[in-house]
A and B are shown apart, each in its own frame.
Chain A
């Protein structure tokens, strides 16, 4: 089993996952540099799949390169760009190279990106893809065609506790868990109350028993970044008070510091919730704040001191 799955199942400490920066050129040296930046602070990193509907070096190529450079990859696969044949082929291909963790998402619509004229695919939805990936690990393609030496896969998905219909999100998480998702990276969110309700619901419905919950925390450094997410990214809402607190903090440095404080508070709150196994960190700052955050929170591989974390029964 993957290191990520073992770590999550052990519950010895909160786990940290993150997003790999988009790579467009610079050869494998560019990947190696990004690996060196992230590796000391995180347990596994998502090789993203055309994030926000922008084309970049492919998820599989980055995941394989990360694996070769010694950083545990999570192959992210979105349903927007490829049909069921291509998605199965990508997972199988990456698995040949030792990539075991996969996160399966619906994906932002093509209209979120810089090529809105593109044909959207969505041949499968994310829950169907979770189940299909489970089939690959069991030794068959969706057609039923046998795979003689099936890959080891640790399958996860994403859920958004912050978007309507709020009351239904736990049921959707349960549906994903029942389909075979063993971890859920949660969407970016700035409403601690909604996260709390969602996690409590997941504990009550037994989702947290079988599936590791990883709320997402975002590192930003301007009020403008928060306003942009609130206004322009569907599914993300940020309370005006939070935006005002950051934007009105003073000069550039004070704003960046206020923004960091908001992140730390949200992270501490998320980690305090029973049923949470760790954090997924999205870094839009790229100024070393990721290192500071994991140090301040005392989470991630750099912390020697063992501490308790929620312990789901993943197998």
Chain B
């Protein structure tokens, strides 16, 4: 099931929104325009490279994703709350959620979990943050994650 849901989600969202399966969907707050289709994957608005005709800096033939997002956010079919969310500050992408189901992550709350420092929280006892340091003490090298030695 855990493998099937992301497949199903992608099958639905790819044709409609060109979904990239970031696992932390913000479509409703970006005028139903996927910010991960921006070549710079910007989640907080357009960069300074938007062309005079509204074309993307990187792919001139494509209209800037954020130009579309801004326009669509004011669409009458969009609830007012969603329109207001366009200017919300979206936290950094959690790359660990890539290719997982945003539907499951929405239900579990995983898509809203930002690093402690994002909300200004200081982790005084930071032992739990030093996972890498702990790994060095492992005796059996074969138990280390793939790529650890590179």
Contact = CB atoms under 8 A, between A and B. Distances in A.
B58 A159 contact: no
B60 to A, nearest CB: 8
A171 B87 contact: yes
A164 to B, nearest CB: 5
Given A140-B123, A142-B118, A146-B124, A123 B45 contact: no
Interface string B117-145: 11011111010010000000000000000
Contacts of A144: 115-117, 121-123, 126, 129
Contacts of A283: none
A152 B43 CA distance: 28
A186 B67 CA distance: 20
Interface string A93-115: 00000000000001011011000
Interface residues of A, number: 45
Contacts of A108: 49, 57
Given A106-B40, A125-B45, A235-B47, 16 more contacts: A106-B48, A127-B45, A128-B43, A140-B120, A142-B117, A143-B116, A144-B116, A145-B126, A146-B122, A158-B48, A164-B51, A164-B64, A165-B46, A165-B64, A172-B45, A235-B49
Interface of A: 79-80, 84, 106, 108-109, 111-112, 120, 122-128, 131-132, 135, 138-146, 158-160, 163-165, 168, 171-172, 174-175, 178-179, 187, 234-235, 237
- Give the 8 A-B CB pairs with smallest separation, nearest first: A144-B116, A160-B48, A144-B123, A234-B57, A234-B49, A144-B117, A127-B44, A235-B49
